[in-house]
Structure 1
Amino acid sequence: MSELPLDAYYDLTQIGEVAVSPAGDRVAFTATEYDQAADEAVSSLFVVPTDGSREPHRLTSASGAASPTWGPDGDRLAFVAARDRDAEKRVGWRDRDDEDAGDAEGDASEDDADDESADGEGEDHLGGDDEPKPQVWIFDLALGGDARQVTERDEGVAGFDWSPDGDRLVIESRDPTDEESEYLDQVREEGGPIETTRLQHKVNGAGWTDDVTRYLFVVDLDDPETDPRRLDDAHGGGAFEDVAGMDPTWGPGDRIAFTSCRLDRPDDTTVRDLYAVSADGGDAERLTGGDLAHGAPAWHPDGDRIATTASDPDDPPAPAEVYLVDAAEGEGDDPDADDRDAPTSVTAALDRTIARGGGVEWVDGSIYTRIADESHTRLVRVETDGSAERVFEAQGRDRAMVGFDIADYGATAVTVLSEPESGTDLYAVDVTDLDAAAEPDSLRRLTSVNESLTDEFPMPEARRVEWESDGWTLDGVLYHGPDVDPDDGDHPLVVAIHGGPMSYDEPVFSFDHAALTSRGYLVFRPNYRGGTSRGREFTAELSGKWGTAEVDDIAAGVESLADRGWVDPDRVFGHGFSYGGIAQGFLVTQEPELFTAAAPEHGIYDLRSAFGTDDTHVWLEAEFGLPWEDPEAYASSTAMLDAGNIETPLLVMAGGEDWRCPPSQSEQLYVAARKQGVDAELVVYPDEHHNIGDPDRAIHRLEKILGWYETHDPAIEAAD
């Protein structure tokens, strides 16, 4: 079996967002590709007919396209991208070259400033950064031609939606005051000092936070000379606003829904209330009660109800559920009157969490959403009375649904299905066939974005495995090469631990899996207690007591595979990212003989020193309390206190700007291992957040992990 070369990562394509046109005849989607020359990831925009009659058509490249959203006419497609500014078609701002043209000498400085900004505005616009900021662009697919830029916000655009008549947009954008602009200029141009009074002083991926408020603005597409109109009471707020956004959603009756946190201590909670405001302005009306974290609002066509996904910040193990929110326009002088009906969950009876990235779609009075169900992402149809039915049996349990959208008119659905052997691709199906017991004739594959990889190199096969631990029957996914039979026995094993921990693993297409299995490894992805997809009780098994259930479950899973004769117990390797790295830290301190070598990535190993230096103080308090009030809870969930037990060679990896799991945590684990003479190496990627970024970093990571395993593999040592 030939090995998958690691530089084939540059040939990988990963599908992102999908948006079906209103009539259901086309679907727009984003796809991340990897530019080897520039050594960067690029998100491009494509459109493909849902009847499968043509290959996808590329609309953009090298522009970082995101948030594709169809206009109500189905001919216009808007998206957000940080492209070079469209100097020929200025829409949505005034052209200063034509303003006060009679006084050329007096306007020289303004002309110079306009010429400089014509090259695009970057994240550090006020500091002179020439990189463009994300703006809204619109393709008119009926007329053809390139996209037209319709916004120019100094701080960029974070979200948007179309008005039902298609002549306006609502956009979300930061709007600094003059004083705030001076501070941003100082930080961006001079590097600081950083000054803050915010409790949520930094957020992973966004960096140090500031006091700039984000607002909603209305953009008139029919009057390009008119500046966007700010809705003064439609403003954001909250600890994670920089990454969660405001979810602006334009509904019937010219009302706009959005999320915000306006509690007394907005940085001390993850609550996000749902609001509604008139597109003409005025006071925003709070629709929810300040106790849940709402998101992804979807208006019912009657305009009196909104479906959202929401979770309870004070109950971390509780499933995220679909709620119905009373959105009838309030009466009287108090826009926040308490007499409206409280939001009601319509998925509570399922005891299943909404799958990550899952939204809600209205079709004929029913709601479609994706849930995590027994280590499997499932599509369900939910009625407003709380009854629910699992649909789309054609998916099966051997592939994962990682995306979904339905046409506004409800005739066509598009799903993104991920299959270990054949890739992750778009499929269209008639909505009427979602109830089919077998694969319907209307199911058609629209893309084959990784065909060159899957045709040329061996992709892994996957099987689900089960084992017992502490009275629970657990499951996981085992990947192996197509020419490998686990029953042949004594295979080297890589235990790849999912993060979260509130997550789960199911069979998916993965470059990492293929790189490992093509080199002879079995890859085991265990679904341990504390994850999701099996109800609140299962998730609560780990809440507030890290380093307990997951250690027992993963160790029992490895032992089960060894007992079957599939695995050589002297050649067991491990890695995990985020909570997977945290779990790896507990495993090497509590089960020092389990792994031959391990590579914990971007983890936390001392919960006490993490508090306040990472960005998760709200979550940690909800799960463990405060460290000065309950120090034992933090100590008992700290792997560093058992670091004297480490015997496993450790490759410890971190991101230099990871504020979710700060690099200092990895330094502590590394130093603890080295202090005891254990073979260890520390790898820090200086500019990386809590992610795996550019392709050279992703390839280097795999090279290091594979090299670490090979260095400590007794079979390779014996052969040498």
Structure 2
Amino acid sequence: MRVLNTALAVAVLVSSSLVLARPPEPGDLLRLKTVSSPDISPDGTTIAFVVDTPDVERDENVSHIWAVNWDGSGDRQLTSREGESESSPRFSPDGTWLAFLSSRGGDEDDGPTRLWLLPQASGEARPLEGLDGSVSDFDWSPDGRKLALVVKDPEPDARESADGEEIPSPIVIDRFAFKRDGEGYLDNRRERIWIYDLARRTAERLTEGDHDESSPAFSPVGTAVAFVSKRVDDPDRTVDSNIFVGELAAMDRVPRQLTTHPGEDSMPEWSPDGRTIAYLRGGDPAVSFPWYAITHLAAVPSVGGEERVLTGQHDRNIFEFAWSPDGRSILMVVEDNGSQILSSVPSGGGAVRTLIGGDIDIAELAVSPAGRVAVMSSTMERPREVHAVEGGKIRSLTEQNDALMAELDFGRTERYSATSADGIEVRGFVTYPADSSKGQRLPAILHLHGGPDSQHDYSFDMLKQVFAGAGYAVIAPNPRGSTGRGSEFSAALTAAWGSVDVQDVLASVDHAVAAGIADPDRLGVGGWSYGGMLTNYTIASDTRFKAAVSGASISNILSGYGTDHYVLAYEQEIGKPWENLEGWMRISYPFFRNQTIITPTLFMVGGSDVNVPTLASEQMYQALKSRGVDTRLVVYPDESHTISRPSFVKDHVERWVEWFDARLKPASQ
């Protein structure tokens, strides 16, 4: 009888969940928690991680440190100061402390970010004392007595008027790269490596000079720190970063340079025996523009010597890596054709072996000294959560978003393959409304990703599901310029924006129409950043779209030179405007030939965007408005390139849906 009752109860619950499940809505974005930054305790029993949650009442995002046991039990919040945020949790080598970064106790916008230590036995977190400037990264020494910190030079003391009001100083600019999104104008303060002695509570600077340093990594014996820097006369004019080693016994000496590769070297990690430093190596700018080049795993002897590429025959990007405890292999997160998978390679180089593959999104790898492995992982129907890697499989440890997911009825997603105008295969995904039937023609949105060096993949994407929940088929192509298909496919877009990528996305639409998925009379297109740019290129090339949404985009590329933060990238990929005006004009055709655009277009942009400044959207809005094309411009005050204020996040997605609904759906729907 108990079995029958239990079965009946399960049936009722399942039935209720089916009845209550609903399509995702824009407001669900404010209920979605972002889980990230896993770190495993030295004994392997605990994983610390970060949960970022929209605080609707305060209209801001707040992140706190959480922890979960290796067996999945004891999911708990470790920090909880109201209105404060914490990030980057890392256990001390003996597990007694958990360090993290936070601007607690100060103005979150202007106050310094400090490193805090939270005792794992009991007690409150305390900040490091005797240190000026903001901390952006850190690493523990192997004995836990020291910390290597990346600290930005402190701001000069502010001037005050007689009544105590702060007097702003003139902004004096003499740098080649003088602005950056999220920071605004750049001064000459630098980020440097400091060594902090916990017992003495004192800090000593390891590096000197007019350079920025990043990614500090202590050697296994704690006598040296590897880091990344551009140690040239003008670091703003190059992507050539290299790996250096500074000896703690010689704090005032010039650090040793280990790598000389002309591209971007990053993320140094010592082998367990200290003989080798592995790192990520970007492409050679003389061969391929860095955006489109493959990032490989490389290694160099820690005393100096030959630099070896360990994954040279594997034409896929490596994003994260970690040494195995025995030093025989290196685990890696590898991007591959719409997936991010877990792989490994022998420490001496060789064949890349897949450990966890398939239709999955894996990121943020963590490995404990005992060999336990944790990753962030997601699928199209479940956001990233912390997972343990065991026996060639992953096991979920957290369920921060499971309650929300249980409420929602997600549309199914299928892969597709189309043929572009020149015969190149284009791959992507189509997401259908949950209540749609096979063969039903639907209003469709061509959803274009940013970058362009990025890809639509198997990761969870609430925006696509919101569009599907509103009744649209969502076509998500990976045109040339996208990553995941190798260097040649990506590099095809070099200095050729709005060319073959337009062919590829239009081929994707043609495929969806021919397959009976998309209604050819109800087509929309939209994207953010380069996705917005490609939207502009597409509607300037084809008039079939009845509605477009262009977010944080630029069409008059000439207007970007000197007004956004891409001056070096522009000069490397396209050349200087006065030396290659034809090339600049060729990729600026949506503005200079905007009379070909008839598609009603909504432009949206952050008011403080330095990545793609507001003026770029203003120009396109004004051009279409001048010609009488149906258009609108929405500017989100104080927002940078990525809209983050919760109320604005909801607002901008609602506007996407409303804009499409008004133009792609009959009034009766």
TM-score with structure 1 length normalisation?
Answer: 0.85
Query: Kindly tell me: are residues 121 and 424 of structure 1, through their superposed partners in 2, closer, same or farther at Cα, counting changes over 3 Å?
Result: closer
Aligned partner of 2:191 in structure 1 is 214
Measure, in 1, the Cα distance between the counterparts of 2:508 and 2:128. Answer: 54
**Structure 1 counterpart of 2:293:** 318
Q: Summarize the alignment of residues 469-484 of structure 1 with structure 2, pairs less than 5 Å apart.
A: 469=420, 470-484=422-436
Equivalent residues of 2:159, 2:167 under 8 A apart: no
User: Of 131, 139, 156, which aligns to 2:118?
Assistant: 139
Cα pair 1:236 1:246 within 8 Å, conserved: no
Cα gap change, 1:543/1:184 in structure 2, threshold over 3 Å: closer, same or farther?
Answer: farther
Residue 85 of structure 2: which of 47, 64, 69 is its match? Answer: 64
Q: Give me the whole-angstrom Cα distance separating, in 1, the residues matched to 2:432 and 2:24.
A: 13
Q: 1 CA distance for matches of 2:405 and 2:130?
A: 42
Residue 266 of structure 2 is matched in structure 1 by: 295
Q: Give the alignment of 1:425-504 within 5 angstroms.
A: 425-430=385-390, 433-434=391-392, 440=393, 443-469=394-420, 470-485=422-437, 487-504=438-455
User: CA distance change for structure 1 residues 608 and 342 in 2, over 3 Å: closer, same or farther?
Assistant: farther
Opposite residue 324 of structure 1, the aligned amino acid is A
Contact 1:34 1:42 in 2 (8 A): yes
- Classify the secondary structure of the residue corresponding to 1:200: coil
Distance 1:313 1:619 in 2: 14
Which residue is 1:92 aligned to?
none
Contact (CA 8 Å) 2:34, 2:52: kept in 1 or not? yes
SS of the residue 2:30 aligns to:
helix
Alpha-carbon distance, 1:152 to partner:
5.4
Aligned to 1:262: 231
User: 1-side partners of 2:25 and 2:517: how far apart?
Assistant: 26
Q: Is the 8 A contact 1:3 1:519 kept in 2?
A: yes
Aligned position for 1:675: 626
- State the alpha-carbon separation in 2 of the partners of residues 692 and 305 from structure 1: 41
| 1:391 corresponds to 2:354 | yes
Residue 588 of structure 1 aligns to a residue in which SS? Answer: helix
Stretch of structure 1 that moved more, 307-316 or 540-549: 307-316
Identity over aligned residues, as a percent? 30
**Structure 1's 421 and 202: CA in aligned 2 closer, same or farther, altered over 3 A?**
same
Give, in whole Å, the separation in 2 of the partners of 1:289 and 1:282: 23
Over 3 Å counting, the alpha-carbon distance change for 1:389 and 1:257 in structure 2 is same
Pairing partner for 2:313 from 341, 344, 349? 349
Of the three residues 148, 152, 159, the one matched with 2:126 is 148
- Choose from 131, 135, 144 the match for 1:166: 144
Deviations 1:631-652 (A, max 9, x none): 1111111121221101000000
Cα distance between partner residues in 2 of 1:617 and 1:382? 37
Q: What is the CA distance between 1:37 and its match in structure 2?
A: 1.0
Amino acid at match of 2:267: A
Distance 2:129 2:267 in 1: 23
CA distance in 2, matches of 1:627, 1:637: 12
State the Cα distance separating 1:576 from its structure 2 match: 0.7
Specify the SS of the correspondent of 2:482: coil
Matches of 1:386 and 1:590, distance apart in 2: 46
> 1:184, CA displacement in angstroms?
8.9
For the residues of structure 2 that align with 1:75 and 1:154, how far apart are their CA atoms? 25
Q: Is the 8 A contact 1:423 1:448 kept in 2?
A: no
Matched, 1:282 2:252: yes
Structure 1 match to 2:12: none
1:261-299: CA deviation from partner (whole Å, max 9, x where unpaired)? 121221111221211112241321111216121211101
Corresponding position of 1:248? 216
- Aligned partners of 2:466 and 2:191: how far apart in 1? 43
> Partners of 2:166 and 2:336 in 1: how far apart?
49
Does the 8 A contact of 2:338 with 2:458 survive in 1? Answer: no
What SS does the corresponding residue of 1:538 show, helix, strand or coil?
helix
Q: Structure 2: how far apart are the matches of 1:122 and 1:679?
A: 40
**Aligned-residue offset at 1:680:** 0.3
Query: Over residues 619-638 of structure 1, what are the superposed CA-to-partner deviations in whole Å (9 max), with x where a residue is unaligned?
Result: 11221111111111111111
1:309–1:360: 8 Å Cα contact kept in structure 2?
no
What is the rounded CA distance, in whole Å, between the counterparts of 1:373 and 1:700 in structure 2?
Answer: 34
- The residue that corresponds to 2:63 in the other structure is 43
TM-superposition CA deviations, 1:240-265 (whole Å, max 9, x none): x5xxx611111134100111112122
**3-state secondary structure, aligned to 1:644:** helix
Shift of 1:9: 2.7
Alpha-carbon distance between aligned partners in 2 of 1:401 and 1:691, rounded to the nearest angstrom: 23
CA displacement, residues 386-430 of structure 1 (integer Å, 9 cap, x when unaligned):
21333234x421x311332211221x1112111222332111123
1:35–1:139 CA distance, 2 compared to 1 (3 A): same
Contact 1:367 1:382 in 2 (8 A): yes
Which of 576, 584, 602 aligns to 1:634? It is 584
Q: How does 1:495-534 map to 2 (within 5 A)?
A: 495-534=446-485
Deviations 1:573-627 (A, max 9, x none): 121111111111100101122x210101111211112112111111112211111
Measure how far apart 1:27 and its partner are: 1.0
| SS class of match (1:32) | strand
Amino acid in the other structure paired with 2:316: R
Displacement after TM superposition at 1:168 (Å): 1.1
State the distance in 2 between where 1:232 and 1:275 align: 10
Match status 1:24 vs 2:2: no
- Pick one of 203, 208, 211 that aligns with 1:228: 203
Match of 2:7 in 1: none
DSSP-derived class of the 1:312 partner: coil
1:640-659 equivalences under 5 Å are: 640-659=591-610
> Taking structure 1 as reference, are residues 236 and 460 closer, same or farther at Cα in structure 2, changes over 3 Å only?
farther
Aligned CA RMSD, in angstroms, stands at 2.1
* Structure 1 position 474, deviation (Å): 1.7
Q: 2:552 aligns with which of 587, 595, 602?
A: 602
d(CA) in 1 for partners of 2:37, 2:117: 17
1:402 counterpart = 2:363? yes
Residues 500-509 or 476-485, more deviating: 476-485
Size of the aligned set, in residue pairs, is 635
Contact 2:43 2:370 survives alignment (8 Å): yes
Q: Deviations over 1:314-341 (max 9, x none)?
A: 122220111112221xxxxxxxxxxx42
Contact 2:135 2:149 in 1 (8 A): yes
Partner amino acid for 2:248? A
| 1:54 maps to 2:92 | no
Check conservation: 2:42, 2:94, Cα contact below 8 A. Answer: yes
User: Is the deviation greater in 508-517 or in 685-694?
Assistant: 508-517
Question: Among residues 497, 519, 529, which one is paired with 1:578 in the alignment?
Answer: 529
Distance 1:361 1:47 in 2: 23
How far apart in 2 are the matches of 1:290 and 1:558?
42
Q: Deviations over 1:468-509 (max 9, x none)?
A: 112222211111233323x23211111211111111111222
Q: Structure 2: which 5+ residue stretches go unaligned?
A: 1-20
Matched, 1:621 2:609: no
Tell me which amino acid in the other structure corresponds to 2:336. Answer: D
